[in-house]
Amino acid sequence: MLTFGWHNFCDMMNDTSPKPRILVAGGTGYIGSHTVVELIQSGYEVTIIDDLSNSNASVIEGIAEITGHRPDFVKCDCADFAAVDKVFSDNEDIKAVINFAAFKAVGESVQRPLAYYRNNLNIILNLLDSMTRHGVKGFVFSSSCTVYGQPDENPVTESSPVKKALSPYGNTKQIAEEIISDAITSGAALDAVILRYFNPVGAHPSSLIGEMPNGVPLNLVPYLTQAAIGIRKELSVFGDDYDTPDGTCIRDYIDITDLAKAHVCAIDRIMGGRMAAPMEVFNIGTGRGVSVRELIDTFQSATGVEVPHRIASRRAGDIAKVWADPTKANDVLGWHATVPLGDTLLNAWKWQLALRQRGIQ
């Protein structure tokens, strides 16, 4: 069976047949942009649709500089069906879709639940509707380990129980998975891969693309690097009285480039006709739980830079510990996490320095 990967890319360089085009919704965002880089470097053509509400078109320059190839870009509100459907009409060579487009701030989703449900669910409905109308089967959906809530045990497998979402954001991920499943049950012709991310961190080693949080970062690593460079006075460690070895929360921090490559493995699987069922679910994590304190220590060792920090009270909604069992992704997708956490955090630091050098942060 023809599989799609580096060797095919090399074959493809001599092949004049058109390269498969992948539509990446939300492709100028943090995870989307890193995935576009890996798709292009694996021989795919890419069209990005994004409304730039939480990202910047300059990311496309970074992608072009890294890969030597500029992806097509259409500024588009993915929650607007007509706009999405026009992209499919204008690009009849789209063979598969990856959806990253969503509002994604857990805390904000509690304040603005209707906006989150309207935006995130309209996007998934628009994409699936348009795919059906245009005969596009391949779909990769950006889901999250938040669907597991506080798991009864770790590591978490794909058959670990999905629990009631702890936020409207997490609920939109769960509902989206159900929408995809129900569409397939109704007879929709889909090859859908659901990737449940653990904690994406880091930046591309080139320091040309990375995470660009708007305002005060909500997530640990961008806040940590801003504290290390002096943008923030200090990092607050949200609680050291959890039921964990050092009292701080444990997570599975997955390097952003490793995570991006998981999407290429999913697209390769779909394009290679290797799906074992119309919908497949994979946990994308390292399989290693790391505490907040361990992450701070790893950052300081890898960079030689001190992180000013203090122990603060717990953050509402935080769970104590969650990390992945990535065996299924390893064995079925042929994907493995490869980047050591120290390298990931060094790349995050280099990216923070690059942002300062460009006067962006």
Answer yes or no whether residue 236 interacts with ligand WQD by CB under 6 A. Answer: yes
Residue 328 has which token pair?
A: 């299924």
Taking contact as CB under 6 A, which single stretch among the options 8-16, 53-61, 68-76, 214-222 is the one that binds ligand WQD?
A: 214-222
Q: Which of 30, 88, 148, 223 binds ligand WQD (CB under 6 A)?
A: 223
Q: Which of 12, 74, 188, 218 binds ligand WQD (CB under 6 A)?
A: 218
* Choice between 73 and 242, CB closer to ligand WQD: 242
* Choice between 8 and 225, CB closer to ligand WQD: 225
Answer yes or no whether residue 199 interacts with ligand WQD by CB under 6 A. Answer: yes
Q: Which of 315, 327, 332, 343 binds ligand WQD (CB under 6 A)?
A: 315
Identify the three-state secondary structure at position 136: coil
* Choice between 95 and 321, CB closer to ligand WQD: 321
> Is 169 assigned a catalytic role?
yes
Residue 208 has which token pair?
A: 């040309």
Answer yes or no whether residue 237 interacts with ligand WQD by CB under 6 A. Answer: yes
**Whole-angstrom Cα distance, residue 169 to residue 191?**
25
Give me the amino acid identity at 334: G
Q: Which of 72, 129, 318, 343 binds ligand WQD (CB under 6 A)?
A: 318
Nearest to 253 by CA among 296, 199, 196: 199
CB of residue 170 to ligand WQD, shortest distance in Å: 7
Contacts of ligand WQD in 285-314 (CB under 6 A): 292
Answer yes or no whether residue 55 interacts with ligand WQD by CB under 6 A. Answer: no
Answer yes or no whether residue 174 interacts with ligand WQD by CB under 6 A. Answer: no
Answer yes or no whether residue 336 interacts with ligand WQD by CB under 6 A. Answer: no
**Whole-angstrom Cα distance, residue 182 to residue 193?**
14
Answer yes or no whether residue 86 interacts with ligand WQD by CB under 6 A. Answer: no
CA angle 294, 298, 343 (to 5 degrees): 135
Nearest to 293 by CA among 352, 349, 203, 220: 220
Beta-carbon contacts of 147 under 8 Å, excluding residues fewer than 6 positions away, are 162, 163, 165, 170, 173, 174, 177, 196
CB of residue 11 to ligand WQD, shortest distance in Å: 35
How many angstroms separate the Cα of 142 from the Cα of each of 71, 159, 188, 207, 349? 20, 18, 20, 24, 25
Q: Do residues 293 and 237 touch, judged by C-beta distance below 8 A?
A: yes
* Choice between 73 and 335, CB closer to ligand WQD: 335
CA angle 336, 337, 341 (to 5 degrees): 165
Q: Which of 169, 197, 223, 253 is catalytic?
A: 169
Residues marked active site are found at: 169
Interacting residue ranges for ligand WQD, rule: CB under 6 A: 106, 144, 146, 197, 199, 218-220, 223, 235-238, 249, 251, 292, 315, 318
